[in-house]
Amino acid sequence: MGRYIGKRILQIIPVLFIISFIVFFLVRLSGDPVNTMLPPEATPADRAEMRTALGLDKPLLEQYGIFLNDVAHGRFGTSLRYGQEATEVVLEKLPATLQLASISLVVSTILGIVLGVICARAKDTAFDILFSSLSVVGQAMPSFWIGIMLILLFGVNLKWLPVSGPGTWKNLVMPVATLSIVTSAQVIPLVRSSMLEIMHEDYIRTARSKGLKERLVIYKHAFKNALIPVVTIMALQVPGLIGGSLITETVFSWPGLGQLMVQCINGKDMCVVQACVVFISLITIVANLAADIIYALIDPRIRY
């Protein structure tokens, strides 16, 4: 197991190299960074001075080498909007996004697993049909629309919850609900189908033939083996909750990476945008590594 984890950590290096390559050249493909950063009324002398200051007068490969060296040392340049290192700006906003994403992940996982197991146990009943249908509807609804509807209902009409910004736990309720509805809607049918498939396995019939209680059969024997696809889908949801919260954070004015990226894209602050993409990529890589480790803990038959 330790050897496998070591190999996976080494595999992160080429992945980060590819990400840095894509981030570097996509910024260049979007246009001249100098024209992006300077206002239209800037003089040719101003443009030449900034091009020299940013090292854009050097060959492209040399620029990429400098960029790689800076990224390796955690430097992405100075933010035009905030006037400080882009890394510092991202690290200031990262805790708010992690708070929102982690709570949403826990809530959606609990809801998805509990409702998925109940739907499997109550197959073809009214409960199963209702929540299976709601999960399809939940996957079809865009997160920004869900957020706006929650604001109109609980913030504007009922006035139960604040509609935007950070503050108390009440400010978290609607953003977390928005992300959790979308995520749990994907987990419910997956848990349901996994449980239904496993409930027909031979070892489940053997456990029942021994006279074990149904609750013990489901939660000790069936549920544990049904978790593997759930772990996979939840690991895939992490980048969606981190990067995909871009729209949700904008709707609720939540001061995290999502809102930061929108502001910096509109303000053409590419240094911060690059830093956000790299940090989100790192979180995604760590989430996938954690999922692989959890596989082995859930199912000892897995050998790497």
Q: Could you give the CA distance from residue 215 to residue 226 in angstroms, rounded to a whole number?
A: 15
- Under DSSP, the state recorded for 215 is H
Whose CA is closest to 48, among 32, 71, 62, 63?
A: 32
Q: What is the pLDDT of residue 304?
A: 52
- Over residues 168-186, the pLDDT tens digits come to 888 889 999 998 888 888 8
Q: What is the pLDDT of residue 30?
A: 65
Phi and psi dihedrals of 5, rounded to 5? -60, -40
Q: Could you give the CA distance from residue 248 to residue 176 in angstroms, rounded to a whole number?
A: 9
Q: Could you give the CA distance from residue 5 to residue 253 in angstroms, rounded to a whole number?
A: 38
Beta-bridge partners for 78: 85
Q: What is the pLDDT of residue 268?
A: 73
pTM attached to this predicted model? 0.78
Q: What is the pLDDT of residue 32?
A: 67
Cβ neighbours, 10 Å, residue 165:
10
Q: What is the pLDDT of residue 50?
A: 77
Q: Mean pLDDT score of the chain, rounded to an integer? A: 81
- The residues, any chain, with a CB within 8 Å of residue 266's CB and separated by 6 or more, are none
- Under DSSP, the state recorded for 188 is H
In order of 19, 25, 174, the CA distances from 292 in angstroms are 21, 31, 31
Whose CA is closest to 217, among 229, 228, 205?
A: 205
Q: What is the pLDDT of residue 36?
A: 66
100 and 175 Cβ atoms separated by less than 8 Å: yes
Q: What is the pLDDT of residue 152?
A: 92
Render each residue's pLDDT in the chain as its tens digit; 304 residues. 667 677 777 878 888 888 888 888 877 776 666 776 677 777 888 778 877 877 777 887 888 888 888 888 888 888 877 878 888 888 988 888 888 888 988 898 889 888 988 888 888 899 989 998 989 898 888 888 888 999 999 988 888 888 877 878 888 899 999 988 888 888 888 888 888 888 777 777 787 788 777 777 777 777 777 777 777 777 777 777 776 567 788 888 888 887 888 888 777 777 888 888 888 888 888 887 887 777 767 666 665 5
